[in-house]
Amino acid sequence: MPESIKFRKRYSSNPGVSENDIHKALLIPRPKSGSDFSEANENHGVETIVFDHPEVVYKNFMQALSCYNIIPNASKIVVMDTELQARKAFFALVANSVRAAPLWNNETQEFVGMLTITDFIQILCKYYVKNGEKDRIHEIEEHKISTWKKVLEESGHGKKFINISPWTR
C-alpha cells in the first residue's frame, strides 16, 4: 500500500482536516518529555497544523523539529578518532553493528567526516595488486584513519563533510 494512502487512512478522521486538505496538513507528533518519539500517536500528543499553501508543509515541518525529536532514545552512535588504526576501527564498527561512524579530529576539536564500510572496500581495492607486491595489502592494517582519509581525498573519493548544529531549525 503506498505511503500516501496509509497516511490518508490513518489521519483522515483527524478533526479539522478534510480529505481534500490532507496534503496541506502537517501532523507533528509531540512525545511526552523523556519518552521516545515513536510513543506519540494520533490520540495523544499530535499537533495538527493546516496551511493555506501546500508547498510550505515540508519547509515548516523541518523548521518545527530539531534532530533530537527524531532520534530514538535507544540509538547507538560510535565516534572514531582519526588517529585510530584502521583495523581497530573496522572491528569497532563490526562489534557495534553499525555501518558508519563520525570521525573526530582531536587536534582541531571537530568532526571531519564519516567512516563507512564503503571506505574500507575502496581502500582494499586500491591496495590490492594482482600479481604485484603482496606485502602492500598487509601494510594497510597499520594505517591510521587519517591516512586513509588523505588517500581517499587524493583519489577523488573523499567528500567535504557538511554538518549543522542539532538545534538548527
What is the domain range of residue 128?
80-154
Global pTM reads 0.56
Answer yes or no: is 168 within a domain.
Answer: no
Residue 164 in any domain: the answer is no
Secondary structure class of 115 (helix, strand, coil): strand
Query: Are the C-beta atoms of 10 and 29 separated by less than 8 Å?
Result: no
The domain boundary residue, chosen from 41, 70, 99: 70
What's the structural domain count of the chain? 2
Phi–psi pair at 35, nearest 5 degrees: -105, 165
- Compute the mean pLDDT over every residue in the chain, rounded to the nearest whole number: 71
Average pLDDT in the 107-132 region?
82
| CA–CA gap between residue 53 and residue 165 (Å, rounded) | 29
| DSSP-derived secondary structure letter, 144 | B
Among 13, 48, 70, the domain-final residue is: 70
